[in-house]
Structure 1
Amino acid sequence: MKQALFKKIQQITEQNLMDIEAHKEKGNHVIGFYCLYGPTELAVAADAIPLPLCGTRQDPIDAAEEVLPRNLCPLIKSSYGFAATDTCPFFRFSDMIVADTTCDGKKKMFEIMSDLKPVHVLQLPQNQVPALSLGPWKAEIETLITVLENRIGRQITPEKISAAIRLMNRERQAKKRLMDITRANPSPLTGMELVEILFKTGFFADKEKGIALMDEISDVCLTLIEQNQSPYTNTTPRILLTGVPVGLGSDKVVKILEQCGANVVALENCSGYKQAFQVNDTIDPVTALADQYLAIPCSVMSPNPGRMEMLREMIPAFSIDGVVDLTWQACHTYNIESFQVATLVQDDFGLPFLHIETDYSESDTEQLRVRIQAFIEMI
């Protein structure tokens, strides 16, 4: 059953580029987003397709390093490299980019990227205290609405934003339902399967198609659970991966963990559970967007209690046996925050903890394998 579903995902993925092209040929637009803090609802409200653009592959990094420093986060270099080499169709399709000041490396890279494509940078507050940050952040979203209206030539009304919130809430609900499937022990999905599904469906131009497909996968997985069909047993070590985002191409730690006999059942990052939120659709839509998006628990926030709260909820909910904290090289906020995560995991839950700092290359694969194998043996 799963094999047929993954074939269907691939078919839709191949059709998706043609869907985006057809959308643009009708005079519609595509908006690229580089971070979870960008409110994609505004693009949907303008009848545009929102596309995630963070780079997850090693291939374009050499080209990026002709402009950017080598000792920079691989996600930033990969993102810029794809743009500079014109090898990412989703960047090419984007009429403009919505970026943000999450970290110093990104915001300076976006200055250079603006020579390649129109870029609007949201000035993200660095704390989540509503009295200090909600007003300025709401003003940033209101400015973005004006920028999008001028760029696209369509009015973004409160009614359209509310409708977009309801649609995107349904998509996030479908993602959460899919991610919650792996609470079952044993899980019917491998961690790599989960990464692939979340990554590929994130690019779908047709949101309804993506929602329907994720629900179909969840339904099949529930049947597999009832039939006790799984690639694992109930003694397979269950791993929670926290830290930086992962996608196809930046998934080597997930691969190695599962090659070493574990199952990555939970992703606490912005490519995983961090995006499983719901925006309040009963109040002023701009206020609702500002409030919910500001609450995203990224390490760029200081302090960042939301991440610890999410980990406290996820570790027992997914019956976790060990936690791996992944940091990309030169990602200082996640690197420093790892100390707090280790304290929580070890002191509050008494679980094995492993912090990995790496990049997208395969050069340290065997070193990582040795460390990860030792970690799994501890469990």
Structure 2
Amino acid sequence: METILEIVQYVRGHLNDGPPAIMKASGEGKKIVGTYCTYMPWELVDAAGAIAASLCAKSDKPIPAAEEHLPRNLCPLIKASYGHALKDTCPYFHFCDVVIAETTCDGKKKMYELMNLMKPVYTIQIPQRADRPEDFDHLKREFQGVRRYLEGIAGRPVTDEDIRRSIALRNRERMALRALWELSAFDDPPLSGLEVHYFTEYMHFHFDKESAIPWLEEQVRKIRSAWEGGERRGHGGKPRVLVTGCPAGGVVKVMEALENAGALVVCYENCGGQKELTWLVDEDRDPMDALAEKYLAIGCSVMSPNVRRMDALKYLAGRYRADGVVEILLTACHTYAVEAYGVRNLVQSLGKKYLLVETDYSESDREQLATRMDAFIEML
């Protein structure tokens, strides 16, 4: 029987399977849809018989090239996204046929105008509120537009039955990822926060969901079985930290600093973590209504007011018994920057410690991060 460490090592060894897989799929004539955001209705892409590939946006290497066209005082995620496309250093962008984008911030939507000069970009106009009937109607109309656009790419109708099958598949993936995260609720979790991150990255870039989802379900079963059999990895008794804020994929250095300081990251509320997993798509409703309802519930800082995020933070902090909350703020991300005041007040009202970390994709603040995390963990 594999140990938990052996399972983790397997995952780490296969984090780069994506580029050859996407090249193979493209060579076989499959349509590739590039995406950036959790507001992307993955189910519609699946239903059209296409592959949804998350595009590169997590490295500082392409940023100097991006700054030849974009302002320097812009979010690093936006600059990295554009720089990778501009320099053709993202295999997923290279092989994608189209990009389906979204208006989650002003910087991104203007950048997409420039990206459209390199690849066709279809932009979903996300409503700025989520609490009115007209917001639901707006997003449903936008998703209907995405459906028609994908039908044009696929060269065939995308039927309600196609969408229902895709909804069931993606819900199964969400439930498998939830089961993975539930391991972090244990008193002595079998995985560190970084290791859970590796699993989620693995799932992002293994595109055959019919095989990847049962694989993940089996790994969670094996890890739980090993833990119940007495295998421990020394995570018990560590201060438990919830991470929130901007997307964290490009600033894994923050989680590394936290866990190097002796903490255990037990939950990511960020995009790529629990933010999108909280709600399943209702499989009993009209499929387009169900998709609009589910994606409108995402607690992104584009929403004003952003009640869903605050409710989710309150729930997750209790569910994972967090001792403290670290909020990641990417430089020049104004919506999350302003919202941080409310997050801090909420966290402190729960009797938990709070730390705001503003950073970018450079390596220059690693020592400063280590110092700040050491001090924060001592407080816990």
Which category describes the TM-score, using the shorter chain as reference length? over 0.9
2:243 is equivalent to residue 269 of structure 1: no
The residue type paired with residue 267 of structure 2 is A
**TM value normalised by structure 2:** 0.95
Measure, in 2, the Cα distance between the counterparts of 1:262 and 1:278.
30
User: How far, CA to CA, are the matches of 2:178 and 2:235 in structure 1?
Assistant: 23
Assess if the C-alpha contact under 8 Å between 1:191 and 1:265 holds in 2. yes
Structure 1 residue 134: deviation in Å? 1.1
Distance 1:81 1:202 in 2: 21
Does 2:97 match 1:95? Answer: yes
Match for residue 118 of structure 2?
116
Note closer, same or farther for the CA distance 1:239–1:178 as it changes in structure 2 (3 Å cut). same
Deviates more, 1:164-173 or 1:363-372: 363-372
SS in 1 for 2:251: coil
1:214 aligned partner, one-letter code: L
Q: Distance in 2 between matches of 1:54 and 1:14?
A: 13
In structure 1, distance between residues paired with 2:95 and 2:146 = 20
What is aligned with 1:371? Answer: 372
* Counterpart secondary structure, 1:251: helix
Match of 1:339 in 2: 341
Residues 285 and 14 of structure 1, relative CA distance in 2, 3 Å threshold:
same
Question: Is 195-204 or 215-224 further displaced after alignment?
Answer: 215-224
Against the structure 1 CA distance between its residues 327 and 2, is the aligned structure 2 distance closer, same or farther, given a 3 Å change threshold?
same
Instruction: Tell me the alpha carbon deviations over residues 137-195 of structure 1, each in whole angstroms, 9 at most, x when there is no partner.
Output: 11111111111111231211111011111111111111111111110111111111111
1:82-231 residue pairs with structure 2 within 5 A? 82-231=84-233
Q: Secondary structure at the match of 2:293?
A: helix
Percent identity between the aligned chains? 43
How far did residue 27 of structure 1 move? 2.3
1:46–1:156 contact (8 Å) kept in structure 2: yes
User: Structure 1 CA distance, aligned partners of 2:284 and 2:132?
Assistant: 19
Measured after TM superposition, the shift of residue 54 of structure 1 is 4.9
Runs of 4+ aligned structure 1 residues displaced above 3 Å come to 10-19, 227-231
**Matching residue within 35, 38, 60 for 1:36:** 38
RMSD of the TM alignment (CA)? 1.5
Aligned-partner SS, 2:52: strand
Q: CA deviation at 1:2?
A: 2.9
CA distance in 1, matches of 2:129, 2:314: 21
Alpha-carbon distance, 1:10 to partner? 5.0
Structure 1 segment 39-54 matched on structure 2, within 5 A: 39-54=41-56
**Matching residue within 323, 327, 337 for 1:325:** 327
Alpha-carbon separation, structure 2, partners of 1:303 and 1:365: 34
Q: One-letter code of the match for 1:294?
A: L
- Whether contact under 8 Å (2:248, 2:328) holds in the other structure is no
Question: 3-state SS of the aligned residue for 1:126?
Answer: coil
SS state at 1:335 partner: helix
1:315 has 2:317 as partner: yes
Counterpart of 1:66? 68
Query: SS state of the match for residue 275, structure 2?
Result: helix
Verify: 1:354 aligned to 2:355, yes or no.
yes
User: In structure 2, what is the equivalent of residue 255 of structure 1?
Assistant: 256
List aligned pairs for 1:3-14, cutoff 5 A.
Answer: 3-10=5-12, 12-14=14-16
Deviations 1:326-372 (A, max 9, x none): 1101011111111111111111x211110111101111111122111
TM superposition score normalised by structure 1: 0.96
Out of 293, 308, 314, the residue aligned to residue 306 of structure 1 is: 308
Unaligned runs of 5+ in 1: none
Partners of 1:230 and 1:74 lie apart in 2 by 38
Determine the C-alpha separation between the residues in 1 that align with 2:203 and 2:343: 29
Q: Which deviates further from its counterpart, 102-111 or 210-219?
A: 210-219
Is there any run of 5+ residues in structure 2 with no aligned partner, and where? none
